[in-house]
């Protein structure tokens, strides 16, 4: 099982509009394109994304760059403050998927999947792309192959 976790690209500053409606900046779109290049040739079966605007834009940029035909699967369990355990429950029957989300969830989820509960979050920049793998999804047993920062 492989799992890729992508934090959205750089977005407008807080306070310009509601958090869920913040959009990517031009720099953020460029960051996402660089992250998408890392996914070329990977055996993705699905792209799941937070409903927040910046995550939707990020997922669509990746989808377009890869020529990935299936639609993006928008899910509420990838919003910033979701508990990593709730995300893990959703991943039991999937493999080779890309998750597009936000901090603090991204950092917390990566730590949780590698080490279990109670460990500090991984540091992930905007458009940071992490790759995890294991024979199956086991909390605290996933191997982090790396985090690519644009």
Instruction: Tell me the per-residue pLDDT of 44-60, one tens digit each, with 9 for 90 and over.
Output: 999 999 999 999 999 99
Q: Is 48 helix (H, G, I), strand (E, B) or coil?
A: strand
User: Could you give the number of structural domains in the chain?
Assistant: 1
Strands (E), 23-94: 46-49, 73-74
Instruction: Tell me the per-residue pLDDT of 80-105, one tens digit each, with 9 for 90 and over.
Output: 999 999 999 999 888 899 999 999 99
Q: Apex CA 17: angle with CA 57 and CA 79, to 5°?
A: 50
Residue 26: give its domain's CATH number. 3.40.50.1240
The token duo for 57 is 């834009």
Instruction: Tell me the per-residue pLDDT of 113-123, one tens digit each, with 9 for 90 and over.
Output: 999 999 999 99
Q: Taking residues 71-83, report their average pLDDT.
A: 98
Pairing mode of beta strands 129-133, 73-74: unpaired
Q: What is the DSSP string of 88-144?
A: HHHTTT--SEEEEE-TTHHHHHHHHHHH-TTSPPPP--TT-EEEEE-SS--TT--EE
Asked whether the beta carbons of 70 and 122 are under 8 A apart, the reply is: no
Instruction: Tell me the per-residue pLDDT of 1-28, one tens digit each, with 9 for 90 and over.
Output: 999 999 999 999 988 789 999 999 999 9
| Torsion angles phi and psi, residue 56, rounded to 5 | -60, -45
Task: Indicate the burial class of 132 (C-beta count within 10 angstroms; 0-12, 13-18, 19 or more).
Answer: buried
pLDDT of res. 143: 97
Q: Is the pLDDT of residue 32 over 80?
A: yes
Structural domain containing residue 29: 2-148
């Amino acid at each position: 099982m492989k799992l890729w976790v992508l934090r959205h690209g750089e977005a407008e500053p807080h306070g310009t509009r509601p958090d869920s409606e913040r959009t990517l900046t031009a720099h953020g779109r460029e960051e996402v394109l660089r992250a998408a290049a890392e996914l070329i040739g990977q055996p993705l079966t699905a792209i799941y994304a937070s409903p927040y605007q910046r995550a939707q834009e990020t997922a669509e940029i990746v989808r377009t760059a890869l020529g990935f035909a299936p639609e993006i699967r928008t899910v509420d369990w990838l919003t910033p403050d979701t508990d990593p355990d709730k995300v893990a429950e959703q991943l039991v029957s999937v493999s080779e998927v890309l998750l597009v989300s936000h901090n603090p969830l991204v950092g917390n989820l990566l730590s949780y999947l590698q080490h279990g509960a109670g460990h500090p979050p991984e540091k992930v920049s905007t458009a940071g792309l992490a790759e995890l793998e294991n024979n199956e999804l086991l909390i605290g047993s996933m191997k982090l192959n790396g985090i690519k920062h644009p």
